Amino acid sequence: MIKNYRLKSSLGFSLVEVLVTTVIVAVGILGILSLQLSQMRSAKQALDNEQASIYLTDMIERIRANSIQSLSYVVAHAVVPGEVDCVSNFCTAIQMAQYDIYTWQKMLIDNLPAGGGEIEQAGGPITITIRWDADLSGSTAKNCPVQTSADLNCLQVII
């Protein structure tokens, strides 16, 4: 009877191959998931930037449509004035400005993370600023342009 010593020494070799392959596949899947998460985060930030741009343009047009009361559009960041219903009721120019600010701030707060807008006028041009927490880090500082990671993202225009 001839014994096959070679067979006995190679037992368990395929188990090691399976374990190594499993580790390689797991690392590959984690890499793909990380890439997917990064892509989703970038897409969300791009969407937020686009929405902020649309809301900025929206407020510019609202102010131009009611330019007689441009001083009435001054508002602090994320401050929502009392609701005025200019859809079903007749409104004066001042009430229309309050309605515009109310609807604009509500859109910003509802659709951008930690979103809010600010309109300033210091005797000359009007500065419209929209801020939001793009990376969801809990940022609260309001420097625009952004100077540190503690600052909210911002989009600003002077008209």
89 vs 84, 96, 100, CA distance in Å?
9, 10, 14
Give 42-98 pLDDT, tens digit per residue.
Answer: 999 899 999 999 999 999 999 999 888 888 888 877 777 777 788 888 988 888 988
pTM (2 d.p.): 0.75
Q: Of 107, 103, 106, 131, whose CA–CA distance to 118 is shortest?
A: 131
What type of residue is 108?
L
Measured CA to CA, the distance from residue 128 to residue 60 in angstroms comes to 8
pLDDT digits (tens, 9 = 90+) for 116-125: 899 988 878 8
